[in-house]
């Protein structure tokens, strides 16, 4: 899917700038999202500009309510901008949520095949592709299981396979591991990193977990409390693979946590 979205002009605030016309996997320019009208309107995002390079892994971090999930919805085309522009240069987009949202009456393979069926893939090819994708997420042998027979981590693997079935170059992930225990999350970090590198995906990943962001990201984008604005972008110059409990990860996570705490305190005050 090619996603080139621009807000309808509202005064002078919706002009598409030079940055939005530049080549890149995802380019956000002066993005504003406001809910409602008049005195009761709520501004979720205000003037967010960000460039996500093709093949990069970008983590969005911030306090609850800062607009992280709203930003993903805008990039996915699930919601409309109030002003600004989002340009993802002819790259298909898939989205993965915190809950796997699998259909309980379908098998594991059936859930993955559904995404292929929507794309018009024939039955024989669907079966073959689904088997390949389940192998990619290390679920070979589980094709005929139902979602209730799987652990939480395994259900998220199925959800990831379903997202990959869309042949997405851009993968949007909204706290996909937030409900998992620490060990399962750590294993899935390794699996996601492997798949990201093998498939040369561009990933935009929302999390509340600072160490998770540093463990996974090429860059960590810290958003302000509502309305969401880009406070800082941290480049993560560390070799891969990384351990979430390593000293370099912990040190940068501590620096980002201090900045996040200061922002939350400022907003609370």
CATH number, domain with residue 27: 3.40.50.300
- Across the strands, what pairs with 93? 170
For 127-149, what is each residue's pLDDT tens digit?
A: 999 999 999 999 999 999 999 99
pLDDT of residue 20: 36
* pLDDT of res. 264: 85
Regarding whether 135 and 123 lie in a shared domain, the answer is yes
Q: Are 130 and 109 in contact (CB under 8 A)?
A: yes
The residue written with tokens 């979720």 in the block is 44
Domain C-terminal end among 145, 167, 189: 167
pLDDT greater than 90 at residue 15: no
**Band of residue 269 on the pLDDT scale cut at 50, 70, 90:** low
Pick the last residue of a domain from 119, 144, 167. Answer: 167
112 lies in the same domain as 72? no
pLDDT of residue 38: 84
172 shares a domain with 260: yes
* 3-state class (DSSP) for residue 252: helix
Write the pLDDT tens digit of every residue in 52-70.
999 999 999 998 888 999 9
Domain that residue 15 falls in: 3-92+168-268
pLDDT tops 70 at residue 18: no
Among residues of the chain, what percentage have pLDDT more than 70? 88
* Residue 61 near residue 223, CB atoms below 8 Å: yes
- Average pLDDT on 81-95 reads 79
Task: Clarify whether residues 192 and 151 are in a common domain.
Answer: no
Are 9 and 64 found together in one domain? yes
Token reading at 241: 């693979």
Residue 254, pLDDT score: 97
Mean pLDDT across 27-40 = 91
How many whole angstroms separate alpha carbon 134 and alpha carbon 125? 14
The number of distinct structural domains making up the chain is 2
- Is the same domain home to 140 and 243? no
My answer on whether 158 and 192 are in the same domain is: no
pLDDT confidence band for 17 (50 / 70 / 90): very low
Q: Taking residues 117-133, report their average pLDDT.
A: 91
Quote the pTM value.
Answer: 0.87
How confident is the model over 193-209, as pLDDT tens digits? 999 999 999 999 999 99
Same domain (yes/no): 155, 193: no
Q: How far is CA 41 from CA 38, 81, 108, 236, in A?
A: 6, 14, 43, 36
Please tell me whether residues 81 and 19 are part of one structural domain: yes
**Residue from 177, 173, 174 nearest 164 by CA:** 173
Q: Are residues 85 and 159 in the same domain?
A: no
**Is the same domain home to 257 and 125?**
no
Mean pLDDT throughout 39-55?
Answer: 92
Q: Which of 149, 167, 185 is the last residue of a domain?
A: 167
Regarding whether 182 and 81 lie in a shared domain, the answer is: yes
Average pLDDT, the chain: 86
Q: Does the CA dihedral 220-86-73-200 come out positive or negative?
A: negative
């Amino acid at each position: 899917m090619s996603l080139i979205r621009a807000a309808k002009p509202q005064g002078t605030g919706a002009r598409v700038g030079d940055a939005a016309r530049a080549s890149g996997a995802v380019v956000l320019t002066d993005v504003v999202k406001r809910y409602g009208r008049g005195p009761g309107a709520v501004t979720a995002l205000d003037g967010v500009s960000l460039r996500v390079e093709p093949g990069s892994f970008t983590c969005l971090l911030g306090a609850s309510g800062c607009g992280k999930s709203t930003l993903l919805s805008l990039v996915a085309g699930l919601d409309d901008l109030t002003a600004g522009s989002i340009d993802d240069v002819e790259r298909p987009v898939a989205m993965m949520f915190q809950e796997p949202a699998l259909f309980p009456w379908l098998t594991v393979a059936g859930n993955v095949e559904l995404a292929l069926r929507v794309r018009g893939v024939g039955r024989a090819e669907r079966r073959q592709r689904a088997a390949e994708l389940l192998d990619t997420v290390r679920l070979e042998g589980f094709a005929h299981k139902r979602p209730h027979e799987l652990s939480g981590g395994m259900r998220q693997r199925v959800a990831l396979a379903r997202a990959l079935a869309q042949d997405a170059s851009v993968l949007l992930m909204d706290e996909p591991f937030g409900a998992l225990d620490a060990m399962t999350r750590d294993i899935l970090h390794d699996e996601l990193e492997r798949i990201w590198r093998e498939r040369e995906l561009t990933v935009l990943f929302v999390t509340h977990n600072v160490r998770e962001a540093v463990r996974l990201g090429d860059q960590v984008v810290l958003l302000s409390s509502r309305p969401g604005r880009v406070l800082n972008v941290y480049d993560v110059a560390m070799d891969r693979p990384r351990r979430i409990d390593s000293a370099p990860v912990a040190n940068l996570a501590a620096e980002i946590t201090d900045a996040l705490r200061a922002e939350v305190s400022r907003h609370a005050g």
